[in-house]
Amino acid sequence: MQLGAWISNVRNLAILYTGVLIIAACVAGSFLYIAYHGNTYTETQAALEVDIHGFSDVYDFSENPEATLRKAVEQRLESPDIGSFYLLSDKNGNRITGNLYTVPSVMEDQDGDFVLYDIPYGEVIGNAPEQKDAFFPHYDVLAKTLTVGDGMSLLVGRDVDAFQTLEAAIMGVAWITTALVFMMALIGFLMGAMILKRMRLIHQTADTVIKTGKLSARIPTEHATGDFKPLADTFNNMLGRIEDLVAGIRQVSDNIAHDLRTPLTRLSHHIEALKKGESDVSIDDIADETNRMIATFNALLRIANIEHGKRRSAFCSVDLKALLNDLYEYYTLLAQEKNITLNMDLPMVIPHITGDKDLLFQAFSNMIENAMKFTPEGGHITIRALNKDEKIHIVLTDTGSGIPDEDKTRVFRRFYRVEASRHAPGNGLGLALVKAVMDLHKAQISLEDHTPCGLSVTVIFS
């Protein structure tokens, strides 16, 4: 029988299309499974590597490494990340601390030094992931062990039950899809072709990003309908977020290089001149230059710690009115020395907030110092507070040079400086710290022009 005649038969054609669709569905399902499996385990392994390196650094750079490592593990256990497992043991295998009683049994070895452990529910101390399966009461945990010192070991693991559940769901969907294809060959073929076309869009977009590094690539959504549209939107939003983060890293790197190249070059020239005895610069001047650079890096580290929420442990009830009064008393004399009038207008009562008093004092100090830096002699700076819509509004206004509209959001970036102020003293981290502190306290901060001149900074506490 000729192939053309065989295909011309409607039943045979339906069988052919069904077979092709089943093969295509199997290939697509396998691709999704392998891609998801590899990606999720790779991400988990990467997260474990970061955790391991962090603990290793804690041990290596501490004067009392064993006690410091133990404290670091216990602090990690206080975090809400209940999908993590830790077990710190001495060289004899005796438990020191962690949320596991003993080293669990090995299920299977993974790539490199990673091991998949089988941990019964009863072996976990304290908070643990939700116990989902009464028939198989255990966690599947991907883990790696760090050995330090004279044999002390730290097991660090992540719960991967959710990954395996999702993988099983993917396989279940594949079987159901195959059954539906057998029942409705033509409809199954059309639906499969549509799904494959949509998946190809995701694959092509991901492939473009991987091969070219072009993070601006997006999945077309003009004709997207049904469940594919939110998936495409989520994928596009993820790419957009990654693009913003990478751009931020590049900008910070560029700014660090730009802002530190000059002092480092100057410092190098001074040292060379001193070696040759040809410079009037003293060792004290070089030390001051070095200390300024160290202060810049310390400010960067402090901002990073704030952004990661490491200061939440110091939160307590803060009397904003008393804090603002302290600031007013502290800066009044400094303002008078610059011939600037510092005013304050507070209501009789300002509700207390929960926060870090020292960080808030530092943030408002930065705001006042910025205002004093760019307010000319004879100018005015006013601190006002008001209770509005069950929120606390703190408003700082000045009669300085102000900030152009296009820079009002950029000034909160690390090292960003308005062109007009680039030659003024400072490192461009003051407002970045202010933004980090306000974000930590879930407060809104905004900049507006002040009439007739100057800037108005508004902070709103919920």
Reduced to 3 states (helix: H, G, I; strand: E, B; else coil), residue 399 is: coil
| Helices and strands (H and E) in the chain: how many | 10, 13
Confidence of residue 82 (pLDDT cuts 50, 70, 90): low
The rounded mean pLDDT for the chain is 78
Alpha-carbon distance of 235 to 199, in angstroms, equals 12
Confidence of residue 275 (pLDDT cuts 50, 70, 90): confident
Does the pLDDT value for residue 462 go beyond 50?
yes
Does the pLDDT value for residue 436 go beyond 80?
yes
Query: Residue 8 has what pLDDT?
Result: 45
Two structure tokens written together for 83: 């999908």
Confidence of residue 10 (pLDDT cuts 50, 70, 90): very low
Does the pLDDT value for residue 56 go beyond 80?
yes
Two structure tokens written together for 143: 């883990």
Amino acid at 199: M
Q: How far is CA 306 from CA 135, 275, 298, 357, 434, in A?
A: 44, 41, 12, 13, 10
For residue range 404-418, what is the model confidence (pLDDT) as tens digits?
Answer: 888 888 888 777 766
Does the pLDDT value for residue 278 go beyond 70?
no
Confidence of residue 62 (pLDDT cuts 50, 70, 90): confident
Query: Residue 130 has what pLDDT?
Result: 58
Amino acid at 58: V
Query: Residue 81 has what pLDDT?
Result: 60
Reduced to 3 states (helix: H, G, I; strand: E, B; else coil), residue 131 is: coil
Alpha-carbon distance of 383 to 378, in angstroms, equals 17
Among candidate residues 459, 412, 411, 407, the one with its CA nearest the CA of residue 435: 412
Side-chain-facing half-sphere of 115: CA atoms under 13 Å: 14
Side-chain-facing half-sphere of 400: CA atoms under 13 Å: 26
Query: Residue 160 has what pLDDT?
Result: 80
Does the pLDDT value for residue 87 go beyond 80?
yes
φ/ψ (deg, to 5) at 222:
-60, -40
% of the chain surpassing 70 pLDDT: 70
Using DSSP bridges, classify how beta strands 105-109 and 95-98 pair: parallel, antiparallel or unpaired: unpaired
Among candidate residues 163, 164, 193, 165, the one with its CA nearest the CA of residue 177: 193
Helix, strand, coil percent content, the chain, rounded in steps of 5: 55, 20, 25
Check if 35-165 and 313-461 are the same fold. no
Domain range list for the chain: 35-165, 313-461
Average pLDDT over residues 118-122: 81
Cβ pair 375, 400 in contact under 8 A: yes
The region of weakest confidence among 51-65, 67-81, 182-196, 441-455 is: 182-196
Does the pLDDT value for residue 392 go beyond 70?
yes
Backbone Cα Rg of the chain: 30
Confidence of residue 322 (pLDDT cuts 50, 70, 90): very high
Cβ pair 141, 89 in contact under 8 A: no
Protein fold of 313-461:
Heat Shock Protein 90 (3.30.565)
Amino acid at 392: I
Cβ pair 249, 238 in contact under 8 A: no
Average pLDDT over residues 41-51: 85
Reduced to 3 states (helix: H, G, I; strand: E, B; else coil), residue 62 is: coil
What CATH number has the domain spanning 35-165?
A: 3.30.450.20
For residue range 330-360, what is the model confidence (pLDDT) as tens digits?
Answer: 899 889 989 999 999 999 999 999 988 888 8
Cβ contacts of 320 within 8 Å, gap of 6 or more: 350, 351, 352, 353, 360, 385, 392, 394, 461
Average pLDDT over residues 434-438: 87
Does the pLDDT value for residue 152 go beyond 80?
yes
Amino acid at 78: E
- Angle at alpha carbon of residue 425, lines to 422 and 429, rounded to 5°: 75
Which of 106-115, 258-267, 352-361 has the largest mean confidence?
352-361
Query: Residue 36 has what pLDDT?
Result: 61
Among candidate residues 382, 376, 371, the one with its CA nearest the CA of residue 328: 382
Cβ pair 331, 372 in contact under 8 A: yes
Does the pLDDT value for residue 312 go beyond 90?
no
Query: Residue 9 has what pLDDT?
Result: 46
Reduced to 3 states (helix: H, G, I; strand: E, B; else coil), residue 195 is: helix
Does the pLDDT value for residue 274 go beyond 80?
no
Does the pLDDT value for residue 7 go beyond 50?
no
Query: Residue 394 has what pLDDT?
Result: 93
- Angle at alpha carbon of residue 400, lines to 399 and 406, rounded to 5°: 115
Average pLDDT over residues 249-261: 65
Confidence of residue 193 (pLDDT cuts 50, 70, 90): low
> Within 215-282, where are the H helices?
228-276
